[in-house]
């Protein structure tokens, strides 16, 4: 319960910052002003400015949008492809399930970063390529989870009862399996969200993700890396933001898992 | 209505049900009794074509009005019969309902699958009416509940409502009252008999409880070791059993009589694991009366609907 609250608060702050940034930011996050470069925190610039004189708070706020955008798309791609694939692997013919599983293993063995670099090389580095690459690299974890939990559901008596009432194949998967594994999938989404945020930061840091001038937490790190010794603030601020975002989504996922995981069923009140 | 002939169920080489034959007439209520592991539930699953992947059935299962044999019939045909002409009530009310669906929707689904209701609204109305028929109280409120909010007895009523939703010709109940306490059990049995009578449906009632068979059924089949060892009218089989196993079961359930040491009667030994049954008469390793003759599988004595498979029937050649 504590995990859930802390996670929800952290995630809520990020969402709030991103939403407010559409209406208002203290300064234009992309406005370069040589006179204001490398200023420390002050009344006007709460967290100071970077080497180009851009306001750090404004950049963080707009960067939160990128972070959420990336997370939603990457996790969306992974969940929308991975979940049906996993359910299909469980409910479909055995040989087809085997093929899905083996393909899954190959994907798991393939480094996600390499995939992202390949995508960047093939389609040009952009936030979208990075997101899709992260999403595709996350598909196996969803497929695996969906298959495992779908197998469990398919062995329950209510699925047998549904079959004995005349339900067949696809309808059982849609009406009986999916709703009963949805909880676990949501948990997986939250955990994957944190991983996707981190991956986007890493890719942007490498120049493979979000391109200038769009603010991104990963790129804030990259642009300031030579100043680590003189102005550590410039790295600490986006670093802490990334860490809190990952922590928030992971805690939220953990908290949700405590509520949804069937293995913890005994801890919940049973009517 | 339902005619099972020479039904054999096997897991690979291992026979689980051997040469089971019986008929259930139109509107007739037949009990299938036996200990756990005697093949009762497998027989029901075989009729439904719902055996596990690695278990196969042979023989014949016929349903009136269906040209094909149900054993080996296409999944397509079977799924059309299941829930419409054939219906099943399961043993475990706690697990046989989808935990993430409101119960009224689960009843309505039964009407929608076979397109017996016009539309969703009609199916919903039908579902509420069916839930009222099985005397679920506060249908308006409890219908919108999720299964975990209902008691075991209430859930079993919902399962019965689902089974009766499309006025089946044959209802199979697989130990539907085993998980319930005695008073709830009696109410549910009444509902089952009432539901079946109203629809003039046939009932195959699987149980290990002789008292339940006596209240619900007209005819009874006694199963042991994957075979039917005795059958007949309930009144006759339960008062003057022929097969030594039936006799053993009845003695064991008679709480008035004790042996010379003051202990309740019991059948010696335990049901062997599948595949460990003796050759010849399946009961001979636990039978007090077994001799060399029992090494040979006894034939069926008497009528197909009333007889037994025992070399030394009670009151026979002693």
Reduced to 3 states (helix: H, G, I; strand: E, B; else coil), residue A35 is: helix
Tell me which residue has tokens 């391109």: A211
CB contact under 8 A, B113 and A165: yes
Task: Give the per-residue pLDDT at A266.
Answer: 45
Element (H, E) at A117: helix A112-123
Give the tokens for residue A6. Answer: 């802390």
Using the Cβ of B46 and the Cβ atoms of chain A, whether some distance falls under 8 Å is answered with no
B1 with B22, same domain?
A: yes
**B52, B99, B112: best to mutate for the A interface, most A CBs within 10 A:** B99
pLDDT digits (tens, 9 = 90+) for B166-178: 999 999 999 888 8
Domain limits for position B227: 1-85+169-243+297-318
Using the Cβ of A34 and the Cβ atoms of chain B, whether some distance falls under 8 Å is answered with no
Q: Show which of B150, B167, B184 is a domain's final residue.
A: B167
pTM confidence score: 0.80
Q: How far is B220 from chain A (nearest CA, A)?
A: 24
Mean pLDDT (whole number) for B11-26: 91
Residue in A with minimal Cα distance to B174: A161
Which of A38-42, A191-195, B54-58, B91-95 has maximum average pLDDT? B54-58
- Residues paired with B82 in a beta bridge: B86
Check whether the bond before B187 is cis (ω within 30° of 0).
no
CB contact under 8 A, A164 and B82: yes
DSSP string covering A142-208, please?
HHHHHHHHHHHHHTSHHHHHHHHTT--HHHHIIIIIHHHHHHHHHHHHHHHHHHHHHHHHHHHHTTS
Report the 10 Å Cβ neighbour count for A33: 14
- Angle (CA) B265-B270-B273 rounded to 5° is 160
A18 φ/ψ angles, rounded to the nearest 5 degrees: -65, -40
B161 with B178, same domain?
A: no
B58 with B206, same domain?
A: yes
Task: Give the per-residue pLDDT at B95.
Answer: 87
Q: Show which of B131, B152, B167 is a domain's final residue.
A: B167
B253 lies in a domain? no
Using the Cβ of B97 and the Cβ atoms of chain A, whether some distance falls under 8 Å is answered with yes
The span from the CA of A99 to the CA of A104, in Å, is: 8
B174 with B158, same domain?
A: no
Q: Show which of B145, B167, B189 is a domain's final residue.
A: B167
Mean pLDDT (whole number) for A91-104: 87
**B79, B148, B176: best to mutate for the A interface, most A CBs within 10 A:** B79
pLDDT digits (tens, 9 = 90+) for A65-78: 888 988 899 999 99
pLDDT digits (tens, 9 = 90+) for B243-256: 999 988 888 888 77
Q: Write the CA distances from B252 to A76, B49, B130, B247, integer angstroms.
A: 62, 34, 39, 8
B315 with B194, same domain?
A: yes
Q: Residue A147 pLDDT > 90, yes or no?
A: yes
- Our count of domains for chain B comes to 2
B60 with B17, same domain?
A: yes
B316 with B234, same domain?
A: yes
Using the Cβ of B100 and the Cβ atoms of chain A, whether some distance falls under 8 Å is answered with yes
pLDDT digits (tens, 9 = 90+) for B138-160: 888 999 999 989 998 899 999 99
- Angle (CA) B148-B154-B160 rounded to 5° is 115
Q: Write the CA distances from A110 to A28, A86, B69, integer angstroms.
A: 40, 19, 51
Task: Give the per-residue pLDDT at A271.
Answer: 33
Q: Write the CA distances from A20 to A50, A56, A58, A65, integer angstroms.
A: 22, 15, 10, 10
pLDDT digits (tens, 9 = 90+) for B48-58: 888 888 899 99
Using the Cβ of B111 and the Cβ atoms of chain A, whether some distance falls under 8 Å is answered with no
Reduced to 3 states (helix: H, G, I; strand: E, B; else coil), residue B273 is: coil
Q: Write the CA distances from B101 to B30, B96, B241, integer angstroms.
A: 33, 12, 46
CB contact under 8 A, B162 and A165: yes
Tell which residue, B131, B139, B195, has the closest CA to residue B167.
B195
B307 with B159, same domain?
A: no
Tell which residue, B120, B313, B159, has the closest CA to residue B230.
B313
Tell which residue, B120, B116, B51, has the closest CA to residue B84.
B116
B72 with B189, same domain?
A: yes
| B residues 223..262 contacting A (CB < 8 A) | none
Task: Give the per-residue pLDDT at B272.
Answer: 86
- Residues paired with B24 in a beta bridge: B2
Complex ipTM > 0.90: no
B288 lies in a domain? no
Mean pLDDT (whole number) for B12-25: 91
B136 with B187, same domain?
A: no
For residue B20, the domain's CATH number is 3.40.50.300
- Angle (CA) A225-A134-A233 rounded to 5° is 20
pLDDT digits (tens, 9 = 90+) for A100-121: 889 888 888 888 888 888 888 8
Query: In the A/B pair of chains, how many CB contacts fall below 8 A?
Result: 70
Using the Cβ of B162 and the Cβ atoms of chain A, whether some distance falls under 8 Å is answered with yes
Report the 10 Å Cβ neighbour count for B54: 8
Question: Among A20-34, A91-105, B115-129, B274-288, which stretch is predicted with the lowest mean pLDDT?
Answer: A20-34
Q: Write the CA distances from B122 to A160, A262, B105, B129, B137, integer angstroms.
A: 26, 35, 12, 11, 21
B311 lies in a domain? yes
Query: Which residues of chain A have a CB within 8 Å of the CB of B110?
Result: 165-166
CB contact under 8 A, B100 and A180: yes
Which of B84, B97, B148 shows the shortest C-beta gap to A271?
Answer: B148
Question: What's the pLDDT band for B46 if we cut at 50, 70, 90?
Answer: very high
Task: Give the per-residue pLDDT at A270.
Answer: 39
Give the tokens for residue A159. Answer: 């699925």
B303 with B213, same domain?
A: yes
Exposure string for B125-136, b = 16+ CB within 10 A, e = fewer: ebbbebbebbeb
Domains located in chain A, CATH noted: 2-12+46-260 (1.10.3720.10)
Tell which residue, B310, B260, B275, B266, has the closest CA to residue B290.
B310
The span from the CA of A207 to the CA of A216, in Å, is: 11
CB contact under 8 A, B99 and A175: no
B291 lies in a domain? no
Task: Give the per-residue pLDDT at A23.
Answer: 87
Using the Cβ of A270 and the Cβ atoms of chain B, whether some distance falls under 8 Å is answered with yes
Q: Residue A177 pLDDT > 70, yes or no?
A: yes
Quote the mean pLDDT of chain B. 89
| A residues 149..178 contacting B (CB < 8 A) | 156-158, 160-168, 171, 175-176
pLDDT digits (tens, 9 = 90+) for B198-223: 999 999 999 988 889 999 999 999 99
Query: Which residues of chain A have a CB within 8 Å of the CB of B98?
Result: 158, 162, 175-176, 179-180
Reduced to 3 states (helix: H, G, I; strand: E, B; else coil), residue A245 is: helix
B40 with B173, same domain?
A: yes
Which of A80-89, B171-180, B263-272 has maximum average pLDDT? A80-89
The span from the CA of A184 to the CA of B137, in Å, is: 34
Using the Cβ of B50 and the Cβ atoms of chain A, whether some distance falls under 8 Å is answered with yes
Question: Among A25-39, A200-214, B35-49, B163-177, which stretch is predicted with the lowest mean pLDDT?
Answer: A25-39
């Amino acid at each position: 319960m504590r995990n859930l609250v802390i996670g929800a608060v952290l995630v809520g702050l990020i969402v709030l910052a991103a939403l407010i940034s559409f209406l208002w930011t203290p300064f234009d996050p992309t406005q370069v002003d040589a006179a204001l470069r490398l200023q420390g925190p002050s009344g006007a610039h709460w967290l100071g400015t970077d080497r180009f004189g851009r306001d750090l708070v404004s950049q963080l706020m707009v960067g939160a949008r990128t972070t959420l955008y990336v997370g939603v798309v990457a996790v969306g791609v992974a969940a929308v492809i991975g979940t049906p694939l996993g359910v299909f692997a469980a409910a479909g013919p055995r040989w087809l399930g085997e093929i899905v599983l083996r393909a899954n293993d190959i994907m798991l063995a393939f480094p996600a970063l390499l995939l992202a670099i390949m995508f960047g090389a093939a389609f040009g580095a952009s936030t979208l390529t990075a997101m899709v690459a992260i999403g595709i690299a996350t598909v196996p974890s969803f497929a695996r989870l969906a298959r495992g939990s779908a197998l469990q559901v398919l062995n329950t008596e209510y699925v047998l009862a549904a079959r004995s009432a005349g339900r067949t194949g696809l309808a059982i998967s849609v009406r009986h399996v999916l709703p009963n594994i949805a909880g676990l999938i949501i948990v997986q989404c939250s955990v994957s969200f944190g991983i996707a945020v981190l991956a986007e930061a890493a890719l942007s840091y490498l120049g493979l993700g979000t391109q200038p001038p769009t603010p991104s937490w990963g790129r804030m790190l990259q642009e300031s890396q030579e100043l680590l010794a003189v102005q550590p603030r410039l790295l600490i601020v986006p670093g802490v933001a990334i860490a809190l975002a990952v922590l928030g989504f992971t805690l939220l996922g953990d908290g949700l898992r405590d509520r949804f995981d069937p293995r913890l069923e005994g801890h919940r009140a049973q009517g | 209505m339902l005619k099972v002939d020479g039904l054999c169920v096997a897991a690979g080489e291992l026979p689980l049900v051997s040469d089971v034959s019986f008929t259930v007439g139109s509107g007739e209520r037949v009990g299938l009794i036996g200990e756990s592991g005697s093949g009762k539930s497998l027989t029901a699953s075989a009729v439904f074509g719902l055996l596990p992947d690695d278990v196969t059935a042979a023989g014949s299962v016929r349903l009136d009005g269906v040209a094909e044999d149900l054993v080996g019939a296409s999944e397509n045909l079977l799924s059309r019969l299941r829930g419409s002409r054939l219906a099943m009530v399961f043993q475990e009310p706690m697990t046989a309902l989808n935990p993430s669906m409101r119960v009224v929707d689960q009843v309505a689904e039964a009407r929608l699958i076979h397109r017996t209701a016009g539309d969703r609204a009609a199916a919903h109305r039908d579902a509420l009416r069916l839930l009222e028929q099985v005397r679920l109280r506060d249908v308006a409120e409890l219908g919108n509940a999720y299964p975990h909010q209902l008691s075991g007895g209430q859930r079993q009523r919902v399962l019965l409502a689902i089974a009766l939703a499309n006025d089946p010709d044959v209802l199979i109940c697989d130990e539907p009252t085993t998980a319930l306490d005695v008073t709830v059990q009696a109410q549910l049995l009444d509902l089952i008999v009432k539901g079946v009578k109203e629809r003039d449906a046939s009932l195959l009632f699987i149980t290990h409880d002789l008292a339940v068979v006596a209240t619900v059924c007209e005819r009874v089949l006694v199963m042991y070791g994957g075979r039917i060892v005795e059958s007949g009218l309930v009144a006759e089989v339960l008062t003057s059993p022929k097969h030594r196993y039936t006799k053993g079961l009845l003695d064991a359930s008679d709480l008035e009589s004790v042996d010379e040491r003051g202990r309740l009667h019991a059948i010696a030994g335990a049901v062997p694991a599948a595949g460990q049954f003796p050759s010849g008469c399946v009961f001979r390793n636990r039978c007090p009366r077994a001799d060399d003759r029992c090494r040979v599988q006894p034939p069926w004595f008497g009528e197909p609907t009333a007889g037994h498979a025992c070399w030394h029937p009670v009151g026979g050649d002693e």
